[in-house]
Structure 1
Amino acid sequence: MTDPRQATTAPLTPVLTRRWSSPRSWSIDTYLQLDGYQALRTALAANPDQLIELMKASGLRGRGGAGFPTGLKWSFLPLNDGKPHYLVINADEGEPGTCKDIPLMMADPHSLIEGCIITSYAIRAKFCAIYVRGEALHALRRLTAAVNEAKAKGFLGKNILGTGYDLEIVIHAGAGAYICGEETALLDSLEGRRGQPRLKPPFPAVAGLYAAPTVVNNVETICSVPPIVLGGADWYRSMGPEKSPGPKIYSLSGHVTRPGQYEAPMGTTLRQLLEMAGGMKDGIPLKFFTPGGSSTPIFTPEQIDVPLDFDSVAAAGSMLGTTALMCFNETVSVPWAVWKWLEFYKHESCGKCTPCREGTGWLVSILRRVVSGQGVMADLDVLTDAASNIAGRSFCALGDAAATPVLSSFKYFRQDFEDLITGKTPPIIVAADLVGAH
């Protein structure tokens, strides 16, 4: 395996996925053979503030969807406030189309554990919780085994590597609620309460887990920390654009020849990723795709050459999100896809706020009528109005996520909805299929 510090010699040299193909890549023995825990030794010899400045200099931005500068987030925690500091890892991965964090935890759990230890040391935390989606049973087992292995080798627990630094890591299984991907709902769930978003401010950096200063980061973000400590900020910035540097795991799914995880520098285009994945399946042309999961505005083939980094995707009218690239060919009905997505958001709404609780139900009801051929033209105006009133008015981003497929699909494919209403396109589902639907 190529040393990650030499990755500048080849743009596609793996960094985050470099151990995935190694025999028993999840074991600590394999991890130690491939630079495992070397970054930790380097980090523990430094001052915590130096690590925070290193993350700022590297330009690492959160890989959970928001793209917030990681080092800046770490620096928000107040110093000398007399409260314990906590690190919480958001491994609740539930966004439709997103499937990068579970493979990371399965194939290379120690990269996450090492990243957690370094991050905890940097933010002066002595307790870290990794909140894993409950259905990801195998990932939970891998992480639990990795924690036990790390403790046995002296990388975790009391007096880590003789430095006097103590850290406990707990692996916590969620109960499969999409809403717990929202960081404050995740914190409520960790505390034993129903997972519902909190009012912000205060933000977790001030009052997070148990009302103490807390950093919440995504799995891929924390897995990026050890390579940065080993390779340095300049090496990390050598990959990707200036404002969104580093490697990224892109999740390709849908009608592609070889769906899966593709690591490439930030700013890689869908055209380039499709070349790696063998192109569109069966040669049927691309009709539309999501750049970052179903909660991001859809793109058409016109955006196939948009660099997939935070700023370029935003400038093109969408969001990079979790880089979950769901690719749909010309056989797919856009109204059908939007209806399916809305069924998901309606089901996963926590019900705390009216716009999301009631609005998602109305959107689903109207979309069912449209896809069953029972809609009228006025339904499209009601859909637009309802989605516009949900967006920006819900308690958390779930409402925005539900409104996005409707509004973005109307931008490019309103005619597809009109054709279903006028009968030019036959119904996607028959009315009988709707009996008892919920």
Structure 2
Amino acid sequence: MKSYKDRRGTVTGSGAAAFVALLAAVIILYMLLVPPEYREEILGPVVPGEEEPGVITPGGEPVTEVEILSKVPGRLDKLATPSLTVPLDSVVLFSDVESKKIGEATSVFAQNSLLSEETDAIRFNVLDPVNTQNVLLTFKAKKSKGRIVIKLNGNVVFNDIITQPTITPIPIPTEYLQKQNLMEFRVAGPGWKFWSTNEYLLENVQIVGDVKDVSHLEAKTRFILDSNDLLNTKKARIQFVPNCAPGEAGPLELYINDQMIEKATPLCGDLQRTEFLPQKLKTGENTLTFKTDAGSYIIDQILLTFVFREPVIPTYYFEIEEEDLDELLDSEDKYADLELEFVGPEFKNLDVYINGHTIHIDEKGTSFNMNIEEFLIYGTNAIKLYPRSRNIDVTSLNIKVITE
């Protein structure tokens, strides 16, 4: 029979098992009660790529994607009309001639003697010498003795003896005119009659001429062109009908934004057409100018036409090897996914061309997906987006082979 001491120092098998079970229960209870962030520190982080026990992907395998094309098409636009016609108001070109006094003096006095000489002058301005014609000098000679010499800008315009108070107006050559003019009056010396004095006193001295107002020989009209229309313009033309008097009208000049596009004498009353480069145009306000140097024009039925080019729509290419396409077509777990993503959910109307096949998209939404494996071919494949409505913003075009 064992002593009491011996029984205390001996641990039985059933007692050890009970102790382990109790310890495990305490640990499990502790792990359930501890906060998750501390639980992760105790157990260690989850290794990326490892599946949690009990999570099964469809088919028993994870879904894989192989990208074969990725593009950002951006904005797709379709022309609303093949051209734009802008009618403009009629313009009138004409000149107006008016007789004007361009210089004057109340009186002019000049004398010459043996001991002294006195001269006089008139200064006057001419705004447009080229268009000032039929210039005349008139005056009344209150005193006249000897020979008087009159010069304009250093050029002699009169050199003679005046015997009567009133004379025929003296013509002034227009080629002597300048914008700032000086007309000088001088009397010749007495010569051998050295004891006498030659002198002239002229009153009511006037210089008159016909001044042609050419400000109406040029007319401008304006039109507006927005940036999209300018960008799409491949050629531009103008047409108009010039009404004028044959033989009297001068050459007609046309300008776009101060750049000449034509200079010719048109047939009066006939429709005129002229093409010009779109590079002469600009975004916003543009100016069309008509100009001539003689005669008069009434220019009617002015039309500007801008012929647009079709927007450039790129074609995207991608390659598929023969064995890859065969595997794709034979597999029930693989398919080729076309995905288009759009900026907004508004209505879209566009066609997708894939190797000669057409997919019509006529719906709302921010994305579009379709299995296109039946449209694919060996080698080089082509896909193109063609808009049927204006301003379709495509943020991405992706083609992927997806394995489930």
- The TM-score bracket by the shorter chain reads under 0.3
Q: Could you tell me the TM-score, scaled by structure 2's length?
A: 0.17
User: Which structure has more RCO (C-alpha within 8 Å, separation ≥ 6)?
Assistant: 2
- Structure number with the higher strand fraction is 2
The structure number with the bigger radius of gyration is: 2
- Structure number with the higher helix fraction is 1
